[in-house]
Amino acid sequence: MSYSADITIIGAGVIGLAIASQVTREGREVYVLEKNEAFGQEQSSRNSEVIHAGIYYERDSLKTKMCLEGNRLLYELCEKNGIAYKKCGKIIVATNDVEAEELEKLYRRGKDNGVLLKMLSKREMRQLELKLKGLAAFFSPTTGIVDSYALMRYFLGKAKGNGAQIAYNTKAIGIEKVSGGYKVKVEDLSGDFSFMTRVVINCAGLYSDKVAEMVGINIDEANYKLHWCKGEYYSVSGGRNKLINRLIYPMPTSISVGVHVCLDVNWRLRLGPLFYYVNEINYKVDDSRKKTFLESSIMKALPFMEPSDLEPETSGIIAMLQGEGEGFRDFVIKHEYDRGLPGFINLVGIESPGLTSSPAIASYVSHLVNETLESEKDCL
């Protein structure tokens, strides 16, 4: 059977692009399909751009492993390739007794994960952030921020330089398992057509459960059903944005790291994201939630902020495996050969810290792809 592609990647967000930059090599036909007219228009450009350190999750989770490795790789990559970043560090602060107890546990978890952390005295806290109010806090020096657009542009350039072809306005609408690979049906501006590929890598972000379904996976049984969670940001004006020098985080909530101080590489300051579950994609910031925003822990840690300083700004929607009221779910990164789908690799629920983890996820997936293509060669 002759193939049009060796590897087809569905989705040109940071994950699809990072993978494309690693799996492309001489002699391999690699296609990246993207339904939008440009790369990175969904989760990858609507986030906090934080390079996480690996504090929050269990040591054995993929989230922690990928985050720790991604953190290291990302700083190296930014430094080598001129991608804007700042290793500004972050403070996690507790504003009451209950939070202070939790803070201690979080600090220990981070340390267990091997993250460099420092408990701060009240004096040290004030030295780092004069205006910060809190009962207890610790500092994470390896947390930072990255220009996510520049990072994606770098991955894209590398992938294209290695021969990958990126097809925009091209949506995968059907996938059929056939002998020796997959028949992928796509829809572009001129209509629809199908082509053959040996490997499919599903990096479809918010729609990765739907793409998994296309190949016949029962997503309820597989536990791949995604829940969308919207995170809203507020910009800070009135000169108060000049009063903070680094990332400041409250204690995490059950679904996120909490409304925090976000800075970008140009030192633009925002607060957010305030997350809540949604059923549709609509990026308009719902101003009626401002009251909840003002009651969040971060506002107690920054008492100098006035409600009138905060203006609704942007939002992002994240692909969560964890439904409302449910417990922790890890990233799913899985070669589906045990479902009778050799060469089909699913990435589902790649939420935060997905941006940080992107280079580590790319090399993990690259190994899976090499194993698949090598074992096929052995069978010839």
Q: Which residues contact 324 (CB under 8 A, 6 or more apart)?
A: 227, 277
Angle, helices 62-81 vs 148-161, to 10°: value is: 80
Q: Which of 144, 205, 250, 343 binds ligand FAD (CB under 6 A)?
A: 205
Task: Output Rg (C-alpha) for the chain, integer angstroms.
Answer: 21
132 sits near ligand FAD (criterion: CB under 6 A): no
Contacts (CB under 6 A) with ligand FAD, residues 312-371: 316-318, 350-356
Residue 312 contacts residue 273 (beta carbons within 8 Å): no
Residues touching ligand FAD: how many (CB under 6 A)?
Answer: 42
- Contact map string, positions 280 to 319, toward ligand FAD, x by CB under 6 A: ------------------------------------xxx-
- Contact map string, positions 25 to 44, toward ligand FAD, x by CB under 6 A: --------xxxx---xxxxx
**Minimum distance from CB of 206 to ligand FAD (Å)?**
5
Contacts (CB under 6 A) with ligand FAD, residues 215-234: 231
CB closer to ligand FAD, 136 vs 202: 202
Contacts (CB under 6 A) with ligand FAD, residues 142-171: 171
Q: In the complex, which residue's CB is closest to ligand FAD?
A: 354
16 sits near ligand FAD (criterion: CB under 6 A): yes
Contacts (CB under 6 A) with ligand FAD, residues 237-276: 273
Separation of CA 196 from chain center: 29
DSSP secondary structure letters along 123-169: HHHHHH-TT---SEEEEETT-EEE-HHHHHHHHHHHHHHTT-EEETT
CB closer to ligand FAD, 241 vs 356: 356
CB closer to ligand FAD, 9 vs 136: 9
48 sits near ligand FAD (criterion: CB under 6 A): yes
Cα–Cα distance, 319 to 322 (Å, whole number): 9
177 sits near ligand FAD (criterion: CB under 6 A): no
Q: Which two tokens stand for residue 209?
A: 């459960």
Q: Which of 11, 144, 250, 258 binds ligand FAD (CB under 6 A)?
A: 11
Cα–Cα nearest to 357, from 66, 148, 110: 66
Cβ burial, residue 127 (10 Å; 0-12/13-18/19+): exposed
DSSP secondary structure letters along 32-98: EE-SSSSSS-SGGGSS--EE--S-SS-TTSHHHHHHHHHHHHHHHHHHHHT--EE---EEEEE-SHH
Q: Which residues bind ligand FAD (CB under 6 A)?
A: 10-16, 33-36, 40-44, 46-50, 52, 171-172, 203-207, 211, 231, 273, 316-318, 350-356
